[in-house]
């Protein structure tokens, strides 16, 4: 009964309720039915059940609530699938970091903490075994919103390690920060000679509308059937189950809270389309790296902690920039407006604060902080030459980030400052290293 209060544990025990049991909860106003879930975080007096529609739902316990068992939890399947290695098939390594993609595993048996073995994966998604021998490893089991660059580093090192034992790697990942991770891995894994495809799922595997299977299967097909090398993101291209996009790791962004085609290309075409039910893969771009298993990865997995992405909005308080100055930040990515400008002009008594933004950034730049300009429009290219504001920004050394969207510019600056000298950083920031800048 992990995570539940002593009181609730006693009630569950009395009613012979286990994790995975189907239960009915009756409050004064409503009745809920669902599978009892383990409680891994948060308050221990909230009962979490998985509803029929696949969503988890939490109900705060109080004395007036009635809890009944409707069905026992299923017995754990003891006999595991026997996997055979087929030397005629390529080998794909699946590294799991968390997220909804593999969340089907054994709710009814209470086995959410089950090991992430290749057998479990093939039981969930049998088709992947048709294309490849599957190896797998559980790296973390976390929501992607909790991921930090420390975790990108762990992934990059693990990829470098297992890359010798396989023909391609899949990273299963929560979708929320998947595009930050894909950019980060693209920078960390220089010269990689095999494909590394990030796969997430917007609807968990136990919901009828899940996109988990199609995204994973398309990723395996893409790895096995093409000569692509490098990092990519494989997710639904449309809201139908027709084909996935392989998007560029630095030119993609989660653009919807819930749609299955949330990952859309930004300022660049997707690399390829991979059909789900047909044996069809179409490359939209030709400028990708080709597979070469003999290439040695140039692993540069450093990153600088003191880099911030600072979004502007009307009434932005200059004290926010002062905070970063006092904290000795080494890099600032401004998420400005339009062509990249931020409020720095003094027009009237109200805009003297805007002028202070300029003064503070000037001081920071003089102390060596790298300041980069991007646009909150997300789409389009920054241009600091058009308006006087942009030219004034350039006069203190602020660098326009071309057509990198804010998140990619942020990841790049963090990575550059962790691996190169300050003089090099300025030059490399506006140089296309991984396809992050479209010429």
Q: Report how far residue 239's alpha carbon sits from residue 133's, in angstroms, rounded to the nearest whole number.
A: 30
Q: Considering the rule CB under 8 A, would residue 377 count as an interface residue with a copy of itself?
A: yes
**Binds a copy of itself (CB under 8 A): choice among 93, 107, 116, 410:** 410
**Binds a copy of itself (CB under 8 A): choice among 350, 421, 423, 439:** 350
**Binds a copy of itself (CB under 8 A): choice among 26, 109, 383, 438:** 383
How many other C-beta atoms can be found within 10 angstroms of the C-beta atom of residue 143?
A: 16
Per-residue DSSP letter, 140: -
Q: Considering the rule CB under 8 A, would residue 380 count as an interface residue with a copy of itself?
A: yes
**Binds a copy of itself (CB under 8 A): choice among 237, 262, 268, 401:** 262
**Binds a copy of itself (CB under 8 A): choice among 379, 424, 427, 431:** 379
**Binds a copy of itself (CB under 8 A): choice among 385, 427, 431, 432:** 385
CB of 81 to a copy of itself, least distance (A): 29
Question: Considering only 14-22, 228-236, 307-315, 419-427, which stretch makes contact with a copy of itself by CB under 8 A?
Answer: 307-315
DSSP of 23-36, one letter per residue? EEEE-SS-EEEEEE
CB of 232 to a copy of itself, least distance (A): 19
Q: Report how far residue 249's alpha carbon sits from residue 292's, in angstroms, rounded to the nearest whole number.
A: 19
Q: Report how far residue 291's alpha carbon sits from residue 283's, in angstroms, rounded to the nearest whole number.
A: 15
Site for a copy of itself in 166-225 (CB under 8 A): 175-177, 180-181, 184
Q: Report how far residue 258's alpha carbon sits from residue 272's, in angstroms, rounded to the nearest whole number.
A: 23
Residue placing its CB nearer to a copy of itself in the complex, 111 or 336: 336
CA distances from 14 to 18, 64, 75, 342 (A): 11, 17, 20, 63
**Binds a copy of itself (CB under 8 A): choice among 152, 221, 251, 412:** 152
Q: Considering the rule CB under 8 A, would residue 138 count as an interface residue with a copy of itself?
A: no
CB of 323 to a copy of itself, least distance (A): 5
**Any idea how long the chain is?**
439
Question: Across the strands, what pairs with 149?
Answer: none
289 is an active site residue:
no
26 is an active site residue:
no
254 is an active site residue:
yes
Q: Considering the rule CB under 8 A, would residue 48 count as an interface residue with a copy of itself?
A: yes
238 is an active site residue:
no
CB of 328 to a copy of itself, least distance (A): 12
Q: Report how far residue 356's alpha carbon sits from residue 373's, in angstroms, rounded to the nearest whole number.
A: 17
* Whole-number CA gyration radius for the chain: 25
**Binds a copy of itself (CB under 8 A): choice among 378, 420, 428, 433:** 378
Give the angle 114-115-117 at the CA atoms, nearest 5°.
Answer: 130
Question: Considering only 81-89, 106-114, 219-227, 308-316, which stretch makes contact with a copy of itself by CB under 8 A?
Answer: 308-316
Q: Considering the rule CB under 8 A, would residue 309 count as an interface residue with a copy of itself?
A: yes
Place of tokens 């969930």: 124
Q: Considering the rule CB under 8 A, would residue 436 count as an interface residue with a copy of itself?
A: no
DSSP of 219-248, one letter per residue? HHHHHHHS-EEEEEEEEESSSSSSEEEEE-
Question: What phi and psi, each to the nearest 5 degrees, are found at residue 103?
Answer: -80, 0
- Contact in structure between 342 and 376 (CB atoms under 8 Å): no
Catalytic residue list: 100, 175-176, 254
């Amino acid at each position: 009964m992990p995570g539940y209060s002593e009181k609730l544990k006693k009630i569950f025990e009395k009613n012979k309720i286990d994790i995975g049991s189907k239960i009915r909860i009756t409050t004064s106003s409503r009745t809920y039915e669902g599978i009892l879930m383990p409680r891994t975080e948060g308050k221990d007096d909230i009962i979490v059940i998985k509803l029929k529609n696949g969503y988890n739902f939490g109900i705060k316990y109080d004395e007036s609530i009635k809890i009944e068992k409707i069905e026992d939890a299923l017995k754990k399947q003891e006999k595991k699938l026997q996997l055979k290695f087929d030397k005629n098939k390529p080998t794909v390594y699946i590294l799991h970091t968390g997220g909804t993609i593999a969340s089907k595993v054994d709710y009814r048996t209470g086995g959410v903490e089950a090991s992430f073995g290749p057998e479990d994966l093939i039981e969930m998604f049998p088709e992947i075994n048709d294309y490849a021998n599957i190896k797998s490893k559980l790296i973390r089991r976390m929501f992607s919103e909790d991921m930090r660059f420390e975790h990108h580093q762990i992934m990059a090192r693990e990829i470098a390690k297992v890359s010798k034992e396989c023909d391609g790697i899949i990273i299963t990942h929560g979708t929320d920060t998947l595009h930050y991770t894909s950019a980060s891995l693209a920078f960390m894994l220089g010269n990689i000679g095999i494909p590394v495809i990030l796969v997430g799922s917007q609807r968990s595997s136990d919901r009828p509308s899940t996109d988990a299977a199609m995204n994973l299967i398309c990723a395996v097909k893409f790895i096995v059937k093409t000569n692509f090398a490098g990092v990519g993101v494989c997710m639904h291209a449309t809201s139908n189950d027709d084909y996935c996009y392989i998007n560029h790791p630095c030119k993609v962004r989660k653009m919807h809270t819930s749609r299955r085609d949330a990952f859309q290309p930004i300022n660049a075409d997707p690399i390829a389309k991979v059909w789900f039910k047909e044996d069809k893969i179409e490359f939209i771009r030709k400028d990708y790296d080709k597979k070469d298993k003999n290439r040695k990865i140039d692993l540069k997995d450093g990153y600088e902690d003191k880099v911030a992405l600072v979004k502007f909005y009307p009434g932005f308080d200059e004290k926010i920039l002062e905070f970063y100055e006092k904290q000795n930040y080494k890099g600032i990515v401004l998420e400005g407006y339009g062509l990249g400008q931020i409020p720095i002009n003094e027009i009237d008594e109200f805009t003297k604060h805007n002028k202070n933004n300029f003064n503070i950034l000037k001081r920071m730049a003089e102390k060596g902080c790298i300041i980069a300009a991007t646009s909150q429009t997300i789409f389009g290219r920054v241009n600091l030459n058009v308006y006087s504001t942009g030219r004034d920004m350039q006069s203190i050394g602020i660098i326009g980030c071309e057509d990198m969207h804010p998140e990619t510019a942020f990841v790049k600056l963090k990575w550059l400052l962790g691996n190169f000298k300050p003089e090099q950083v300025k030059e490399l920031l506006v140089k296309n290293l991984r396809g992050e800048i479209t010429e």
